[in-house]
Structure 1
């Protein structure tokens, strides 16, 4: 039941006054069905809207505390995925309501200032003669406040239900972000060299650096870092170097440790000792363990591989590196990581950034794993087409090759080629898994920045400034006082997590990255994580999309195409991009899309259309 109009204007001080006001309204047949109890309930709701806003924000923060766990479990548990979608919907709705509320408060302040600046005579006249416009403004304020109060009440009920469901799921609140719901796979130094293709250049570069003669001036220990996104083949390259005949002969002691996540100093220290003496140490005190490492490698030239390092905390690294300094000059430590920040933290003397494989090398891997002759004329053309879908990612080629090997016929390969590669569960889970680990390392705000990149087409040349401004418009960059600086930090963090590639740098500004691209498979991953939120459509696809849930939309409408008015139903849209479109669209569009925060008309005919209508 809604209460409007003069009830608030009268500012009743007691419920007797409220009841009297209701009686007067009943005479005018405005609120004949409202009871005294209903009126009391509505008044309390409207008056308490400020407190409800604060409660809603607190309730959301409570639920967001379990978001890390939910996001890590969503790919394994369908129920969690559905719960997470509902939470995101409510979060968006809450954001919109708070925007509406804050906008109303700002407008109210502006009106107060304008009223204060009016002439004293006008103020006196208004104080004695209530104008219809003043009454209308008060009526409008009450209506807005009442509408927001009901929206907040409904959202609070939805949040409360989600909170109860989160309890049933047994979500954990992660105070330590390193904890993961999905265990990282462990690696070993063993490898079948006959099944490895490509990376000859990087392999030779790495081996040459490992065998280089150490000078007295070189840092000890000499650290080399292999950096690349998940699935790029860092571990494989480290295994190739570790098993190289010359490398094996060059060092007195070789050690392989899979560090993984979280970084456990004691476990890593024990693994180093066990790798040297072939038995686990009894001691569990870190001090005793590092002393033991120092004794075992003292004066020896060792080669240590620390595979899959994630921690950027100097405190995790410092005790170990102090012990490792006991080794002889010329010792080497090789670290593999997805994060450039790790390479900086360990003061790498040399870094190798892994790039994608060539299409030919991708096909060699696919054919090798599928046990198919790479020169097979019947399957070769289809096979190369499939291998090209891997976009040079070795892990993708390996997994696709296993799928191809299990479906070895021309027709089945053609079916795979014609389908969306990510519809294949084995491929999706295998390739996107390593990216999920990197994604889970990000804070909630940086996750939002990364996922926003799904709005842009594949192979898009991102402008650093464009991205930062878009994130600012969406509210992903913190408080209004440092939004641009925070956006810059978010960009750097995504770069350091290997989510961007193909950098263009400014030679005049300390090699600052100004433009970059995103690997197609990383883009596919972002799209997977934004299902039912981000859409790219043309006029033929509009009817097949649930526009109510759409938050970000890109329109690709060709010339002479009539503007699809179904877009009006996308009431919750926050981003609207027009790409490669010369279509003229109606100017009343933005009266329907009231939640828009970002609008890109770079490729549209909007400006021309607006100018023509303005002249008329």
Structure 2
């Protein structure tokens, strides 16, 4: 995030210097000094952002940098607003003397604020020298293919058996006598493919024809009883109910599933409090025999609390399945010669994913856009792999993918972090928010818009 912010500010400072605005000598000097310092800092941020993950002192230094950068961002906003006002006033008939006084006051105020920021930056620059950061050798341009290549990844490699087992349980082929509804839990670490497996089962043709009602609810945290009840009803009725009482919502659910065979997926469940689950358990008993609930969770205790009859613990993919998934994405539009030249590095990168489907998919997609052997070797030798213990190999691939983004796109992605988990984005609305924050504009950065879509 710091790199994207500093990059945007450095560009804006540069554009002010290069513009036809009539700056006083003092203002222009201060802007030039600050722009030079931002450019200097920008050259080491790639290394600093990686090192902050293991070095608390570097993290604190980056926090200081971000604070000053946000202050500078505010000053630039103030400057731009003043310029817009000045343009409007120019069109009105006013006394020249009054205009001149106003402009001089603006220059003095801006110069004073920029001078203060320059002093703060001097301190940050001195601290930078103590860390010995590596310089970035220019910003790497990511070459995107001119035509979009879609890859079918609906087939989950190495999951045929577990998928067939899950479908068999849903269809009742393995049950003799069971409680109703029959609860199946898919348990495993982050990125193992729990949600994808549930989606495949949910959309299976035989499964769809077996149930009268199908509902999908993303639970996550916190476990809001009314929110979850509303989501269940929304899946059934196609619209969110206007009721606010949990009892009223549960009564409505009972009416909807009464004597009907239903299939409910509760995705990403974390709640370990059985008292929060109990009202749902009682309400869902009104479905007919053969109804099913699939729960995806990272915790065995959640599967137990929710009353699972079957618990499927998902294991990592084999090395060969991991390689097949990776190569399917990374080499989908490369010619046989490129495949041959890069395969040895690709196999080593796939091994780094430690059998996690999400990590494999992330790295495969990242390498799809890299053509040279040097680019592939840079990924393989990245020091981010040293962080693989954090998140069991998932953390490093996601960070590699993030750091590979162009600076403007990093800033757009970081902005999305202000929204709550499982927030449903509307692309046009998100693009508009990026525009009003100055991350993109209506004409430039069209690549970001295309990628977002």
Normalized against structure 1, the TM-score is what?
0.38
Question: Pick from 356, 366, 390: which aligns with 1:393?
Answer: 356
Q: CA deviation at 1:409?
A: 2.1
Q: CA 1:399/1:216 → structure 2, altered by over 3 Å: closer, same or farther?
A: closer
Q: Are residue 232 (structure 1) and residue 192 (structure 2) matched?
A: yes
CA contact (8 A) 2:168 2:174 kept: no
Q: Are residue 331 (structure 1) and residue 331 (structure 2) matched?
A: no
Deviations 1:264-293 (A, max 9, x none): 000000000010010110101000000000
Structure 1 residue aligned with 2:207: 247
CA contact (8 A) 1:257 1:272 kept: yes
CA contact (8 A) 1:195 1:368 kept: no
Structure 2 residue aligned with 1:278: 238
Question: Pick from 168, 171, 174: which aligns with 1:211?
Answer: 171
CA contact (8 A) 1:216 1:329 kept: no
Distance in 2, matches of 1:407 and 1:282, equals: 50
Q: How does 1:559-574 map to 2 (within 5 A)?
A: none
Distance in 2, matches of 1:363 and 1:421, equals: 20
Q: How does 1:139-538 map to 2 (within 5 A)?
A: 194=154, 196-212=156-172, 217-372=177-332, 376-422=339-385, 435=391, 521=393
Normalized against structure 2, the TM-score is what?
0.51
Query: Which ranges in structure 2 are unaligned for 5 or more consecutive residues?
Result: 1-51, 64-150, 398-453
CA contact (8 A) 2:191 2:394 kept: no
How many residue pairs align between the two structures? 254
Q: CA deviation at 1:418?
A: 2.7
Question: Could you list the runs of 4 or more consecutive aligned residues of structure 1 that deviate by over 6 angstroms after TM superposition?
Answer: 522-525
Q: CA 1:404/1:522 → structure 2, altered by over 3 Å: closer, same or farther?
A: closer
Q: CA deviation at 1:378?
A: 2.2
Distance in 2, matches of 1:348 and 1:369, equals: 36
Q: CA deviation at 1:321?
A: 1.1
Deviations 1:65-116 (A, max 9, x none): xxxxxxxxx97xx899539x9xxxxxxxxxxxxxxxxxxxxxxxxxxxxxxx
Deviations 1:546-591 (A, max 9, x none): xxxxxxxxxxxxxxxxxxxxxxxxxxxxxxxxxxxxxxxxxxxxxx
Deviations 1:139-173 (A, max 9, x none): xxxxxxxxxxxxxxxxxxxxxxxxxxxxxxxxxxx
Q: Which has the higher helix share?
A: 2
**Higher Rg of the two aligned structures:** 1
Q: CA 1:206/1:258 → structure 2, altered by over 3 Å: closer, same or farther?
A: same
CA contact (8 A) 1:266 1:285 kept: yes
Distance in 2, matches of 1:273 and 1:80, equals: 49
Distance in 2, matches of 1:382 and 1:261, equals: 39
Distance in 2, matches of 1:248 and 1:389, equals: 37
Q: CA 1:329/1:405 → structure 2, altered by over 3 Å: closer, same or farther?
A: same
Distance in 1, matches of 2:249 and 2:152, equals: 33
CA contact (8 A) 2:193 2:357 kept: yes
Query: Which ranges in structure 1 are unaligned for 5 or more consecutive residues?
Result: 1-73, 86-190, 436-518, 526-616
Distance in 2, matches of 1:409 and 1:196, equals: 29
Structure 2 residue aligned with 1:138: none
CA contact (8 A) 2:359 2:394 kept: no
Distance in 2, matches of 1:80 and 1:313, equals: 39
Q: CA 1:312/1:205 → structure 2, altered by over 3 Å: closer, same or farther?
A: same
Distance in 1, matches of 2:396 and 2:299, equals: 20
CA contact (8 A) 2:192 2:316 kept: yes
Q: CA 1:403/1:522 → structure 2, altered by over 3 Å: closer, same or farther?
A: closer
Q: CA 1:370/1:281 → structure 2, altered by over 3 Å: closer, same or farther?
A: same
Deviations 1:279-327 (A, max 9, x none): 1101010000000000001111111000000001011101111111000
Question: Pick from 38, 53, 60: which aligns with 1:82?
Answer: 60
